[in-house]
Structure 1
């Protein structure tokens, strides 16, 4: 009897451990976010999901991933910091932005209602990368931005299409500097991906 109880406890502990490990693998950010190949080797389903978004919305993987890096550093449940009341008391968050893509509530709802992905979740990588691709597609359609123009795509992502067309970013030197950084990261990611994409396209790769 004691032996059976011990086995039952051990089995439950093992199951719990495996579940915790699985959750940790799916939600923790990549260890080396500066190297796209390392990201995709570590998160072995992310390449296929990013490739799917690229094919669906014609937005290059390096642009998608560079924008996500800037928005959340690949943290699944990222939120803006809380404001401070009297410099000490935690107040409300600056916006409703959430998840990998830092999409706001109303923008995410727009995506859900118009992308065919009505059950999408902002803390799911596949949904978030598809959202960024979809938004970039809208930027091309509504603001005439080319799919590989990461600099202007990021400005439209940050300012919204109306703000982008009004050139509101021109009064925000800091934002233009961030957009340049995102563009440089996309270029770096593009060069990195060129060296490993064939391996990623296969069903396995040696480490």
Structure 2
């Protein structure tokens, strides 16, 4: 009986380590963070380390994965029914590609970072924003431009490849709108969220 309970506990612990279930709704930052309290501290750490506002981090993850730890691009279909290859290696909260994630881990020394771990994913977003500042002159509080460089890569952003994709321009505008809304919401509940961590 004890062994069975221990196995159940370890299984639940492993599942929780791999990421929370996606929030029931994705439009209210206060509700998202009240239901996932460890996320708030992770957002704060990233803002302190990389200077990217919490609302911007959330807006990028919302666009990329809707906060699904195990999100992947849909498989292409052969003849409309046979599952084929996925269009890219994007995975996790931040939809980071294999090679970009490897670059992040080498550059930061975070060899054990996982794409399905929220804390690692937001740190990746912050790190990528710092690269966007160095390589493309984008500031951490420019969510539209950050998202365009996030999607197109720094070389593509610098060449303006995003201008060829009206859907991407609309997506970047939505990220900017979401970031502003999240920031406004967080400003109203920040003290309450921080109090739960004993910060105030």
Q: Normalising by the residue count of structure 1, what TM-score does the alignment of the two structures yield?
A: 0.89
Shift of 1:22: 7.8
Structure 2: gaps (5+ residues)? none
Within 2, Cα distance between the matches of 1:21 and 1:146?
A: 38
How far apart are 1:32 and its partner, in Å?
A: 2.1
Alignment root-mean-square deviation, CA: 2.0
Structure 1 partner of 2:44: 51
Structure 1 position 42 matched with structure 2 position 48? no
Q: How far off its partner does 1:198 sit? A: 1.1
Alignment of 1:3-152 (within 5 A): 8=1, 12-13=4-5, 16=8, 19-20=11-12, 23=15, 26-152=19-145
Q: 2 CA distance for matches of 1:204 and 1:90?
A: 45
Report the CA distance between 1:116 and its aligned residue: 2.3
Distance 2:103 2:174 in 1: 28
Q: Which has the higher contact order (CA 8 A, sep 6+)?
A: 2
Question: Partner of 2:153 in structure 1?
Answer: 160
Deviations along 1:49-103, whole A, 9 cap, x unmatched? 1110111111111001100010000101110000111222110000000000000
Alpha carbons of structure 1 residues 22 and 35: separation in structure 2 relative to 1, 3 Å: farther
User: Structure 1 residues 88 and 141 mapped into 2: Cα distance closer, same or farther (>3 Å)?
Assistant: same
Unaligned 5+ segments in structure 1 are 1-7
The normalised TM-score by structure 2 is 0.92
SS in 1 for 2:174: helix
- Report the structure number with the largest CA radius of gyration: 1
